[in-house]
Amino acid sequence: MNAKKNWELLEQNDREIYELIAGEEDRQKRGIELIPSENYTYPEVLAATGSVLTNKYSEGYPGKRYYGGQEFTDQVENLARERAKRLFRCDHANVQPLSGSPMNQAVYLAFLKPGDTILGMDLSHGGHLTHGAPVSHMGKIFNFVRYKTDPQAQGKIDFDQLMKIAKETKPKIVLCGYTSYPRDYDYADFKKVADEVGAITMADVAHIGGLIAGGVMRNPFDYGFDIVTTTTHKTLRGPRAGLVLCRGGYAEIIDRSVFPGLQGGPHMHTIAAIAVALGKALQPEFREYAGKILKNAKALAGKLMAEGIKLVTGGTDNHMMVADTVASSGLNGREAETILDAVSITVNKQVIPDDPNPPLRPSGIRIGTPCATTRGMGEDDMARIGGWMVKALRSHKDQDDLAALKKEVEAFCRRFPVPGID
C-alpha cells in the first residue's frame, strides 16, 4: 500500500520510463479523448492493478487451484464473479480472459471445430477483428459468413436477408456485436434467426457493456441469449480485461475453454480491479453516468450533422459515431485523425461501410463520448467540441488557426480533472 513510495522509486531507478508515463499523464490531461474504446478508469482500479496481487500465481479456479496460498485470491475472484452475475443478470461469469480477443476466442474454441461457420457482422460495417478478419487466426480457423447494414436505412439490419443467409450457411454461432456500429441491436430478431437454424446466440458487447450495466441499453440476456462477452475497460471504466457471461448450461464448457484451453494463470491484480469496477457499476450513480454518455453522444452527433458532417448511420443510439470525412471535408480518416491530434482532440481513423480505401487510409473517423463524460463534460460542451472539430478539419491548411485552436482546447480541458491523475 505504498503507492507514493513506489512512484518515487520508479523515478529514482528508471527515469526514462517514469518520464514517459508522466508525459502520457500530461497528454491525457490537456487534450480531449474521443476514441470510443477508451475511458479513464477509477483511482481505486489503478490501486488494484498496481497491488501485490500481481505477485501471485493462481492457475485454476477458486477452490481448484494448482498452487497454494490462495486464501485471498479465491475471495477476490468469487467477488468479481458474483458482481458480474448480478450486474448482467446471468447465471455464470468467467472473469479470467485477459482482454477482448481471447474472450471471444475462448467462446469459439469451446463450441466449434475448425471450419465450422459463424455468422457475424461485416468488419467495414462495424464488426470487430475477432469477428472473422482474414488476417486474424480465428478468420483462418473458422468459416465466417458476414451480414451487412443498410447505409440507406440509417444502418439498420435487414433481418429477412439475415435469415436467408443463416438458412443457406447453417452457422453454429449467430454473433451480434460491433466495434464501430452506432446503433443498438434488436436481440429478439437475432434470437429468432439463431433458433431457426439451431445456432448458439452470442453477443459481443465489448463497447457497450457499461451502458447495458447502467440500464440504458438492451441486455441480450433479457432476450434469451446464450453467451455475452464484454471488455471491462471501455464504458465499464475498469482495467483492460474481458468477461465471458453465460446461461448455466454453458458454464463448465466455457470455463474449460478459458483455462486450461486458452490461458494459463489469471492476472489476479486485474481481476481485483474488475471486481472494483463492477462494484462501482452496481451503484445508482453509475446508471446516471451511463445515461449522460448517451446524451452527450447525441449532442455531439447533432452538432456535427448540423455543421454538414456526414455520419454513416445518420446519428447514434449509443456512445459512438462514425463520420465519413471524405464526403464531409475531402480528407481521408488518417488525415483527419492527424489534424485533430494537432489541436489536442484524439479520435481514430475508421473504415466506413464497404470502404473503397485501405484500413490505414480509410474514409472516416470514429468518435465517442465516454472519456469526456467521465471528466464531467456535458451536452453544451459537446456542441463546443463539435464546433472545434469542424473548424480544425475545414481550416487545416492554416497553421496559425490550428495553433490557436489547440490553445483554446487545452485551456478548456484544464477545467475538467482526469480521475486518478488530477
Question: Which CATH architecture describes the domain 52-281?
Answer: 3-Layer(aba) Sandwich (3.40)
Closest CA to 162 of 191, 202, 124, 204: 191
Is 181 part of the annotated catalytic residue set?
no
Asked whether residue 422 carries a pLDDT value surpassing 70, the answer given is: yes
> Among residues of the chain, what percentage have pLDDT more than 90?
86
**pLDDT interval class at 3 (50, 70, 90):** confident
Task: Count Cβ neighbours within 10 Å for each residue of 91-121 and write b for 16 or more, e otherwise.
Answer: ebbbbbbbbbbbbbbbbbbbbbeeeebbbbb
How confident is the model over 279-304, as pLDDT tens digits? Answer: 999 999 999 999 999 999 999 999 99
Is 355 part of the annotated catalytic residue set?
no
For the beta carbon of residue 308, count every other beta carbon within 10 angstroms.
11
How confident is the model over 326-340, as pLDDT tens digits? Answer: 999 999 999 999 999
Is 16 part of the annotated catalytic residue set?
no
Catalytic residue among 25, 44, 59, 116: 59
How confident is the model over 72-106, as pLDDT tens digits? Answer: 999 999 999 999 999 999 999 999 999 999 999 99
Catalytic residue among 42, 81, 191, 204: 204
Asked whether residue 129 carries a pLDDT value surpassing 80, the answer given is: no
State the pLDDT at residue 76.
98
State the pLDDT at residue 1.
63
Residue where the block lists cell 487510409: 361
Catalytic residue among 201, 231, 232, 313: 231
What is the average pLDDT score of the chain? Answer: 95
State the pLDDT at residue 286.
98
Is 280 part of the annotated catalytic residue set?
no
The DSSP code sequence of 348-399 is EEE--TT-SS-TTS-SEEEEE-HHHHHTT--HHHHHHHHHHHHHHHHSTT-H
Is 252 part of the annotated catalytic residue set?
no
Q: Same CATH fold, 292-413 and 52-281? A: no
How confident is the model over 136-164, as pLDDT tens digits? Answer: 898 899 999 999 888 777 888 889 999 99
3-class secondary-structure state, position 116:
coil
Would you identify the CATH topology of the domain 292-413? Answer: Aspartate Aminotransferase, domain 1 (3.90.1150)
State the pLDDT at residue 155.
82
The ranges assigned to domains in the chain are 52-281, 292-413
How confident is the model over 165-197, as pLDDT tens digits? Answer: 999 999 999 999 888 889 998 999 999 999 999
Tell me whether residue 16 is exposed, middle or buried, using C-beta atoms within 10 angstroms of its C-beta: 0 to 12, 13 to 18, 19 or more: exposed
Which of the two residues, 36 and 135, has the higher pLDDT score? Answer: 36
Cα 177 from Cα 142, distance rounded (Å)? 17
Q: Which three cell numbers stand for residue 166?
A: 443463416
How confident is the model over 232-249, as pLDDT tens digits? Answer: 999 999 999 999 999 989
Catalytic residue among 240, 295, 310, 384: 240
Residue where the block lists cell 475471495: 75
Catalytic residue among 56, 234, 298, 375: 234
Q: Which amino acid is it at 419?
A: P
Is 234 part of the annotated catalytic residue set?
yes
